[in-house]
Amino acid sequence: MRRGLISVFAGLAMAFGAMGAPDAPGTFRLRVGPFFEYGSREGEGMTRLAIRPFYAWEKGASAREDRDMEVLWPLTHFGWRGTAFHWRVVMAFWREDDVTGARSRDYSFALPPLWVNGRDEGEGYWGLFPIWGRMPKFLLLEDFRWGMFPAWLSYRTGGSQGKRRDYVLWPFFSLKHDDDRTRWALWPFYGTKRERGREARFVLWPFWNDQTFDAPNHHGRAWMLWPLVERIDADTEQGWGLLPPLFRYSTTTDGAMLLRCPWPLFERYRDRRESTWKSWRLWGVTHRGTRDGWWALHPIVVRQRQHTVSQYVRRFRVWPFYVSEETHAYDAHGTPRLQSRHFRVWPFYASDYHEDDGLRRRSLILFPMRDVPAVERNWAPFWTFYTATQTPGSDTVRHELFWGLIWWTTHPGPPEPDDPHPPPAEEP
C-alpha cells in the first residue's frame, strides 16, 4: 500500500517552454513538449536527440555501440549494432554492412523483389528477378538461386542438416538430393521420397499417399485415399480416419491418444504429460507438465500459468484491451519475491515493473503493441501525457505530467504483487 505523499513539487512554465523534471544524478534532459527532446547520461555525452515527428536518434542503454536513427519514421530507419550497420527506406529499399574482420566487409543491398546484390563471407552475389540470381540467405533458406523463374529454382535449407532442393518448372518437377535420402516428384502425378527408416510416395496428389516405416523402433504402414479414408498400422501407432482430416482416432504404445470429430471444431489429445481439449481457435483447455491454461478466440483471450521449482508465472489477456502478467521467483528456501509485472488497460494506462529495471507507469498508450523502440522514440511522446518512474533500490517515484511541465515525487514503498500469495515452490 502507498505509505503516503512525502514531497510534492509542481513546476509551471510557459506553454511549450523548455523544461524537464530532475533525473538521476549525472543525467540531463531538455524537452519542449513532445516536439523536442535532448538527453545525456552520465559519462556518455548525448544519448538522445529528437525533433518529432521528423527525426529521432538514440544510443543504446546497455550496449553503448548500439545506435538507432529514424527520419520520418516509418519511412526510414538506420541502425548500428557494434560492427554492423543497416538502413531501410520504405520497407523495400535497404542495405546492411557488417565489418567482422580486417579482410571482411559484408553487406547487402536490395530493392525487392527485383534486385539484390551484396557480399557474404567475402563472396559477392547479385540477382535480377526473375532472370537470374543468387542470395546467400532468403527467409529461412540458405544459398537461394533462380534462373528464368519458374524454369529453374534451387535452394539449400539451413542448419547442420541443410538439404539441397532443385526444381524445374516449379513446382512440377523437383529433385531433392541429400546424403541419407533421395526424393523426386513430377507433381501432381507421381512422387517418391526415401530416407532412413521411411519411404513415402504420392500418386495423383492429393488423392493417394502412402508411407512405409522400417526404423529400428518403428515398423508398419500408413496410407490415405483422399477424401474418403486414411489408415495407420504400425507397431507404435494404430489409427483410422474418415473424410480426412475431418475425423480421426489414433493411439500410440506410449499412451498418447488423438480424437478429431470433426476437425477443426473438436479435438482431444492426451499423453503422459499433456491433456488438451480444443475447438480450433474458438476455445481450448490444456495442461502440459508445469503449464496449464485456457483460451477463447485465440490469441485474443488467453489465460496461462506455469509453476516450476524456481518460478511462478501468471498471464491473462484480452488483447489489446487488457493484459496482466506477473512473475514470482523462489529463493533457495522457497520464499517467493515479485520479479516482474506488466499491467495494461488499453488505450488508457500501462504499468511495468522489473526488479532489475525498476518501475514505469504511463498514460495514454495508443499504440497497441508493447515497447516498440521506434514508436517510443518518434510517436509515443505525443500521446504520453503522464509518466511515473522508480529506479531499482529507490523508494521514490517521480511523476511527470504534460512532458515535465508539472512534476512531483512520492514514496509509496516497494510495488506489491497482484497475487500476494503465489503457490509455494514445488519440490524438485
pLDDT tens digit sequence for 68-80: 999 999 999 998 8
- Average per-residue pLDDT for the chain: 84
Q: What is the mean pLDDT of residues 203-225?
A: 92
Is residue 99 predicted with pLDDT exceeding 60? no
Measured between alpha carbons, how far is 248 from 224 in angstroms, rounded to an integer?
Answer: 12
Nearest-angstrom CA–CA distance, 27 and 25: 6
Distance, CA of 278 to CA of 266 (rounded, Å): 6
Report the alpha-carbon angle 81-86-89, nearest 5.
140
CA distances from 157 to 143, 151, 160, 193, 383 (A): 8, 20, 9, 17, 45
Predicted confidence (pLDDT) per residue in 307-344, tens digit:
998 999 999 999 999 999 999 999 888 888 899 999 99
How far is C-alpha 322 from the geometric centre of its chain's CA atoms? Answer: 19
Q: Are 326 and 338 in contact (CB under 8 A)?
A: yes
Burial level of 12, CB count in 10 A (0-12/13-18/19+)?
Answer: exposed
Cell of 178: 541429400
Per-residue pLDDT at 1 exceeds 70: no
Per-residue confidence (pLDDT) for residue 14, from 0 to 100: 35
Distance of alpha carbon 55 from its chain centroid, rounded?
A: 27
Give the helix/strand (H/E) hosting 206: none
> Is residue 166's pLDDT more than 90?
no
pLDDT value of position 41: 78
From CA 279, how far away is CA 263, in angstroms rounded? 8
Which residue did the predictor score with more confidence, 173 or 207? Answer: 207
Tell me the C-alpha distance between 427 and 296, whole Å. Answer: 32
What percentage of the chain reaches a pLDDT higher than 90? Answer: 48
N-terminal to C-terminal alpha carbon distance within the chain: 34
Q: Tell me how far CA of residue 379 lies from CA of 15, 74, 90, 316, 395, in angstroms.
A: 20, 10, 17, 27, 30
> By the 8 A CB rule, do 211 and 221 touch?
yes
- Over residues 242-294, the pLDDT tens digits come to 999 999 999 999 999 999 999 999 999 999 999 999 999 899 999 998 999 99
Residues 6+ apart with CB under 8 A from 117: 108, 109, 110, 124, 125, 126, 127
Q: Of the spans 43-47, 88-92, 413-417, which averages the highest pLDDT?
A: 43-47
The confidence score (pLDDT) of residue 287 equals 95
The residue with cell 470433426 is 262
Could you give the 3-state DSSP secondary structure of residue 373? helix
Give the three cell numbers for residue 62.
Answer: 546497455
| Cα–Cα dist 145/155, whole Å | 6
Output the pTM of the full model: 0.75
What average pLDDT score do residues 27-42 get? 86
pLDDT of residue 22: 52
Share of the chain above pLDDT 70, in %: 85
